[in-house]
Structure 1
């Protein structure tokens, strides 16, 4: 079937791997692009996996993947350069050869992207200087401290800043790659690719990484729409009237649907989602408590404190002290 416009040449995509890269970071990109071509019944992307000196890549799971060529010998032109993430990202970012050739190939590419902690390599190459970027939420604080010229935002699942795109943890590479397919060949093809992959098509780049853990999946389409809006817009006004207007129903109808399908009214769901997200950010990041309060839609640090005392019997800073998985930040 001819779902894509025109008969242009296949787009060349170069994926950079290294020892202890994450296999899913590589496969989410390469398999999605390959599937797009098979569905369109013509070669849309010519994908190459390259590594330092063309060595076999030992992924952090222990699986070994053969590369298609040497990073050092790869030349342009390139449509899209993608740097994988994985446990070896810090070692890769500290390797001058890898950094220098990623920087070189970026100048030969129409657009540049990273998956998960691959952002560390882009940052080391200076490709994120002055840009807004994301990475896996667990590593966002380290990236921000190490590269202060990068505007790190740990909330979205992917960010496009000019010709450079960065994505969050692992499977967010699917979201980024589907967005690239949409950009290149239109939404119809991307929609079918998503269906075959049994994944979401329109999970927008600005969806919060934390919402993946806190959002329920109700059966009712309108309630699902409202839940998606809440979890991706926590910092905005989310009273029942505003949420009902967004969904095109009356506040009374929205209240009835929430109670029927979620067992609680909209206001309680919003408060719970804000508190759950704040709790997760407190225990998994070093962001200042005041910043977390703003991101999650609490009007003040005191409002957040009251919510935590009511729910957990401790203040946000005390909650962080006993549950943190990363060094705690300071309240502001």
Structure 2
């Protein structure tokens, strides 16, 4: 049995408790239960969540954990000396440590992120980097594993992290089975962006949403305005006008952004040659993709690919 400790404190983000369901379902997907879960806090007893209800916890003690994960918060709060001491002590005996969202602040305060790559919720990443310059903060990541330390973005990224831990322990097949039971996509890759082109475009009508969905599913096609307009049941002229009014972008720019997002994900989740990535995401050739990457990220795709392989 692998004991997992979730470190909580008053006001912690309640969504982090979704991790419990991931480990619970992993127990049912194997012949024998693998994980035991404990909520631990500085003083023990009832700890209030961000939603206002309380959860029962046990106090910091000398118990050994296989995995310790610091929960996140909607705010950045001071880290107590007792928390720092507990994490430093636990780091000597715990197989792996991790955090969700602002939980990374506690790991950083304990010096456990010095010289490591780490992430947190995008809106708190600048504060983390400024307060702890020895940490290599990468704000645009779902989660990062550096050595025995795992850090994740905020909110729903806790499920991605939990699934990644299950996959590491029990294999991809079990993790996929758990993901299906959770009714989520088999976890997003750690390197995947916290941002989504589809969310940023924010189409306001079903017709434009339908065109974007069609585009995302058919990136290898030419995706001309006429083709997209057909998916939206609009004339090309009307489609271009409505699309720009709803998204603030031209159809061509939006499609380029979708292709860049898909290409980056391919490079971060596999070892595909650049030419294959360019073809599969509709760029057609590597030079066209290179120019799009420089516009989007300020660097060519080869740099991003090497960084993820390193």
2:63 and 2:76 map into 1 onto residues whose CA distance is: 23
How far 1:294 sits from its partner (Å)?
Answer: 6.2
Count of matched residue pairs:
243
Task: Tell me whether 1:224 sits opposite 2:224 in the alignment.
Answer: no
DSSP-derived class of the 1:57 partner: strand
Structure 2 portions without partners, runs of 5+: 202-208, 233-238, 241-249, 261-292, 301-310
Deviation for aligned residue 1:182: 0.8
* Displacement after TM superposition at 1:192 (Å): 1.4
Matching residue of 2:176: 191
Q: Residue 209 and residue 261 in structure 1: after superposition, are their counterparts in 2 closer, same or farther (change >3 A)? A: farther
- Equivalent positions of 1:15-94 (< 5 A) are 15-25=6-16, 27-67=17-57, 69-71=58-60, 73-76=61-64, 78-87=65-74, 89-91=76-78, 93=79
**Structure 1: distance between partners of 2:298 and 2:76:** 35
Do the aligned residues in 1 keep the contact of 2:69 with 2:98 (CA within 8 Å)?
Answer: yes
Which residue does 1:315 correspond to in 2? none
Q: More deviation in 253-262 or 124-133?
A: 253-262
Give the distance between the partners of 2:295 and 2:149, measured in 1 at CA.
Answer: 24
List per-residue Cα deviations over 1:146-191 (Å, max 9, x = no partner): 0111011110111111111100011101001101111111111111
CA distance in structure 2 between the partners assigned to 1:106 and 1:202 by the alignment: 27
The residue correspondences of 1:95-110 to structure 2 (distance < 5 A) are: 95-110=80-95
CA spacing shift, 1:151–1:219, aligned 2, 3 Å:
same
Q: Which residue of 2 aligns with 1:241?
A: none
How far apart are the structure 1 equivalents of 2:148 and 2:108?
15
- 1:227-284 deviation digits (Å, cap 9, x = unpaired): xxxxxxxxxxxxxxxxx4xxxxxxxx34369735587898432445699xxxxxxxxx
Partner residue in 1 for 2:165: 180
Give TM-score, length-normalised by structure 2: 0.70
Root-mean-square deviation (CA), in Å? 3.1
